[in-house]
Amino acid sequence: MAGEPQDDCLFCKIVAGTIPATIVRETDTTVAFRDINPQAPTHVLVIPKAHHRDAAALAAAAPELAADVLRETQAVADQEKLESYRTVFNTGSGAGQTVWHAHAHVLGGRGLEWPPG
Ligand code: 5GP
Ligand code: ZN
């Protein structure tokens, strides 16, 4: 069911603490941790603690929680002292989504091309 922890979900395991992660921020509803394969000097993932398969499902089922995630991307940028940064939600495998628990990438600390590749 939407929102319930999923036994086979990597990010639900990070929320539960059964898989380690370098956590940089935590709120009642969200966790932010460093990406294991960073694509920039700062590469942090912000996730809702509740399981939703992607950003679209999160926004549809729990818009206030989606807003919490967005607010946390700014909080991460502030904490990491990023003047400019990029927030990315990959939605669907064609866009590069590999983990099916909604997450925002926060990327910064280097120049970022636009449009992206
Ligand atoms: P996606 O490709 O789904 O948008 O992003 C998933 C991200 O999760 C990737 O950037 C990948 O490096 C990261 N990732 C995958 N497994 C782990 C893990 O076990 N720990 C952490 N911290 N990040 C992970
Ligand atoms: Zn999950």
pLDDT averaged per 10 residues in sequence order, the chain, 117 residues: 90 98 98 98 98 98 98 98 97 96 98 90
Note the pLDDT of residue 50.
98
Residue 34 amino acid letter: R
Q: What is this model's ipTM?
A: 0.99
- pTM, two decimals, is 0.98
**b/e per residue, 45-57, with b = 16+ CB within 10 A?**
bbbbbbbbbbbeb
Ligand 1 atom nearest to CA at 21: 22
Tens-digit pLDDT profile for residues 78-110: 999 999 999 999 999 999 999 999 999 999 999
Residue among 9, 13, 15, 99 whose CB has most ligand 1 atoms within 8 A, to mutate: 99
H-type alpha helices, 1-117? 10-16, 55-61, 63-79
Q: Rounded to the nearest 5°, which phi and psi values hold at 113?
A: -70, 150
Query: Can you list the domains of the chain with their CATH numbers?
Result: 10-108 (3.30.428.10)
Q: Is 78 exposed, middle or buried (0-12, 13-18, 19+ CB in 10 A)?
A: exposed
Annotated active-site positions, please?
Answer: 103
- How far away, in angstroms, is 111 Cα from ligand 2 center? 31
H-type alpha helices, 5-104? 10-16, 55-61, 63-79
